[in-house]
Amino acid sequence: MTVATRIDRRFAAAQRARRKLLIPFITAGFPTLTDTVPLMHELVAAGADLIELGVPFSDPMADGPTIQRANERALANGVTLAKTLAMVEAFRANDADTPVVLMGYANPFEAMGWPRFAAAAQRVGVDGVLTVDLPPEEAEMPVAHLTAAALAPIFLLAPTSSPQRVAAAERLGDGFLYYVSLTGVTGAGHLDVADVGNRLTRLRQVVRLPVVVGFGVKDPASAQAIAALADGVVVGSRLIEEIEANPAALHRCVPALVAELRQAIDSLASKETQR
């Protein structure tokens, strides 16, 4: 893209401020249809830099039990891709600055049709689309529609990604690359920070885009450790767990957790400044 997007501007501002992005993930329509938009605003107020909004799908193959349950609940609530887009539109009524990335699976986008989806997503203020089960080798057509609508196609990379896949994701992608910290599903607990660091060092030698890390980030300590290595940290399953544990107080408990993560990440910058 030739024109800087909300995503580009947010990463550029963070780089100038030596700040690492905090990117919370929530599932659209979970736990209820009316919770999502207020929660998105609360996440921003608590320190979120960019929001990943999950598009519910019946077979979320990359997700662990926690986000699977959130998908099932959202689908039972009647959430569709069209309703997810309507939530983004409602969010944009009071927030024109925070980037929003839809994270989902190809089926709903294919069912709507990529041209129609891209146009609708652009109209409501979506900034990027991460399609979990769409590898770059099969993404030429969808990417053409997304980029024509000024939407960033965002690709996943994993510890097992080949140099050829990394090159394809870099060539077709925009906004940022999402590095999966482990060979497993969301919510897995075996985060190896040293391994992530080694792999990101090699990855940065061949990519120009910012790199964020997700899967396995569960608490302020792990968020801080990953923030020392990456341009941004994605936290998803832990937030969904907080919603499940405190459904009556989610609008207090979830932002409080995000504020703790923000403080941990920002304290890292303070330590580096003092060196």
Active site residues: 52, 63
Coil, helix or strand at residue 95: coil
Element (H or E) spanning 30, and its range? Answer: none
Separation of first and last alpha carbons in the chain: 37
Q: Distance (Å, rounded) from C-alpha 25 to C-alpha 63?
A: 12
Residue 158 per-residue DSSP state: -
The H-assigned helical ranges of the chain are: 6-16, 36-46, 65-76, 81-92, 106-112, 114-124, 140-148, 163-172, 193-204, 220-227, 237-245, 250-274
Q: Distance (Å, rounded) from C-alpha 111 to C-alpha 216?
A: 31
Q: Distance (Å, rounded) from C-alpha 153 to C-alpha 169?
A: 9
